[in-house]
């Protein structure tokens, strides 16, 4: 049996080990952010989330009041 065939069989025999080995190799290639960058990016995500929530709340309130006004006008007729 040739060496390449033995290696191929070893790689196929345990796909979980191969997956974990490849994952660890890929994680070593990642450029991780510094602590300051992580805090800054977290603050940006929180600010955008808050702004989106306020935006949606505002328009939900406006449309809700408008719909209630429309319904009360139709019932009053």
Instruction: Give the model's pLDDT for residue 4.
Output: 58
Helix and strand numbers, DSSP H then E, in the chain: 3, 0
Instruction: Give the model's pLDDT for residue 46.
Output: 98
Q: How far apart are CA 50 and CA 42, in angstroms?
A: 12
Q: What is the pLDDT tens value at each position of the chain, 77 positions in all?
A: 555 565 555 556 789 999 999 999 999 999 999 999 999 999 999 999 999 999 999 999 999 999 999 999 988 76
């Amino acid at each position: 049996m040739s060496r390449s065939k033995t290696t191929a069989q070893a790689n196929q025999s345990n796909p979980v080990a191969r997956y974990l080995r490849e994952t660890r190799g890929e994680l070593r290639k990642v450029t991780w952010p510094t602590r300051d960058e992580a805090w800054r990016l977290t603050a940006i995500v929180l600010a955008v989330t808050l702004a989106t929530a306020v935006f949606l709340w505002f328009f939900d309130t406006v449309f809700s009041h408008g719909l209630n006004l429309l319904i009360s006008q139709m019932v009053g007729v």
